[in-house]
A = this chain, B = another copy of it.
Amino acid sequence: MNGMTKTRTYSISDLAREFDVTTRTIRFYEEAGMLLPERNGQTRIYTDEDRVKLKLILRGKRLGFSLAESRELIEMYDPTSDNLKQLHALRAKIQQSREALQQQLTDIQLMQTELDAAEERCLEAMRELES
């Protein structure tokens, strides 16, 4: 009785294929304490929850986050804390993350306008060659 979570499982290469990473990478994330799959004997068995975590890690990676940073983001996921002070700390972290993301947004927008300008110059150079 866990809220109807689809309890599918995945092998390591299932996930590797789906997210286009190597199995080594996935095992590495486990070494780093980011994933804790169950086992059938030796063999790792991944649940949907593991899969979500992996997805979060890789999303973080695309944004240039280190594993440590992604770990923090993932830990924000469940406020298991029963301690008010820790909850305040968690909110502070969430706020920090927001600000970091905001900076990235700004950076992306700047880059986009610069790409616009770059393309404009490029097109201009092409027009001159055709003249």
Residues of chain A whose beta carbon lies under 8 Å from any beta carbon of chain B:
59, 61-65, 73, 76-79, 81-82, 84, 87, 90-91, 94, 97-98, 101, 103-105, 107-108, 110-112, 114-115, 118-119, 121-126, 129
For A77, list chain B residues within 8 Å (CB). 114, 118
Distance from A13 Cβ to chain B, minimum over Cβ atoms (Å): 25
A125 to B81, CA, bound (A): 8
- Cα–Cα, bound, A105→B104 (Å): 9
Which B residues are CB-close (under 8 A) to A115?
A: 76, 94, 97-98, 101
Mind listing 8 A-B residue pairs with CB under 8 Å?
A: A62-B104, A76-B115, A79-B124, A82-B129, A84-B126, A87-B122, A97-B111, A104-B108
